[in-house]
Amino acid sequence: MAFQVSVPIMSRVMSSRFSCARLRATGVAYRTAALMLGASLLFGTSAGQASEQTAALPAGAAVEAQLQEAPMQILVSLDEQKIDVYRGATLLKSSPISSGQRGHTTPTGVFSILEKRRKHFSNIYDNAPMPYMQRLTWSGIALHQGRLPGYPASHGCIRLPESFARDLFGITDRGVHVVVTRERVAPTVISSEVLPQPRGLGQEVASLTSSTIAADPALRGAMAPTGTDETPAAIASNPHFDDPLRMIVTPREPENATRTLQQLLNRMGFDAGAPDGVIGKRTRAAVALFQEGADLPVTGQVTEGLRHAVYAAAGYEAPQNATLRIRRNFKDVYEAEVTLRDADKPIGTHVFTALNFREGDRSVDWMAVPAEGETLATMTQALDRLVIGDKVARDLSAMLTPGSSLIVTDRSFARNTGLGTDFVVVTR
């Protein structure tokens, strides 16, 4: 019963304004006190200690702590055999673990809790018990209670001590991020103009009507109509405000520029032959005809200037080199093109998470975790290389919810991402 009472207190923490530059010292102290109180109740501090901390916490700060909820994030270090539980950028509790032994190494990467079962038995390893199971992949990796001999000993899962596994099970929800790394990492508050910001309620904007949404493939299924075609509409309440978004940016496969050129020439009536990506006689002849009609020097040669001229004549815009995808409740809701500068350079894997904000707020702070360290690119460098167009930025602003996350990575998510998952990025 004591643990059940502590859950609401535990879940109400940290103001939406997490930047130290914007917090008064007293505000930081109150929030820290509220957070430590919740942590002590959750992980077993004595009643006397808890009552002392409660008495020291002013009523206004306690109410604010209950109203504000920072997103939870679980970080696992295989090298140090540790698990750290965070609310926002504040560490609540750490525990030893036992991860996968040699031959069954626990994968590193970015995962989410997909399923929870208080009582579970392995369907792979002799019906072995897995109490307080929290599934990370549908292929068999999970957090659960298990024996901790002091070294990696599991078949790939992350074993936890009994009391820790039980308490953690009681405060997590499906969708909570679990980041598994080799070295131990910690979240840090980060600022960047490219990170989405919420759009306040009541601000007058162009209507997102049913016809507007239907005409934009990126918005279908992601937004509800907010007005009529004739009048602007004030931003309506977000019906999904309690559902964090899971966003990911990954590079696209480079476009075959020659094949595109052939397709455009054919579309405009110049016979460039089959769009096979090979510049042969027919393609050069088609280029020469195009150059003649466009009053360009007739050379039949394919140059960058020739490509731009063909693109302009065909009304074609070359695609951007990266894709932003969004899931909500394990389902795809949005996709758009974005740009990664210096796409040929490695970027690593970085997880950015929006802290708490109230509906109607126009700003939110973000925290960041380097899921592959920062040897390939720092978290700031990764954001500096990301370019999001104005329209996509407006869409994100309208959709953004507390606890939403953005993964920027040059790794594929396809293998482990499917029905009933968030974006899963395996880094080893």
CA separation for the pair 382, 378 (Å, rounded): 6
Q: Is the dihedral of CA 414, 417, 423, 425 positive or negative?
A: negative
In DSSP terms, 84 is beta-bridged to 75, 94
- For the chain, counts of helices (H) and of strands (E): 11, 20
* Active-site pick, 120, 157, 177, 350: 157
In DSSP terms, 82 is beta-bridged to 77, 96
Residues 222-241 as b/e (b if ≥16 CB within 10 A, e otherwise) read: bbebbbeeeeeeebeebeee
Q: Residue 20 catalytic?
A: no
Please count the residues of the chain.
428
Cβ atoms within 10 Å of 18's Cβ, excluding its own: 22
* Structure letter (DSSP) for residue 266: H
CA separation for the pair 86, 71 (Å, rounded): 8
* Active-site pick, 20, 104, 120, 144: 144
Contact 173, 205 (CB under 8 A): no
Q: Residue 144 catalytic?
A: yes
Checking 207-211 for CB contacts under 8 A at 24+ apart, the result is 207/231, 207/232, 207/233, 208/233, 208/398
Catalytic residues: 144, 157
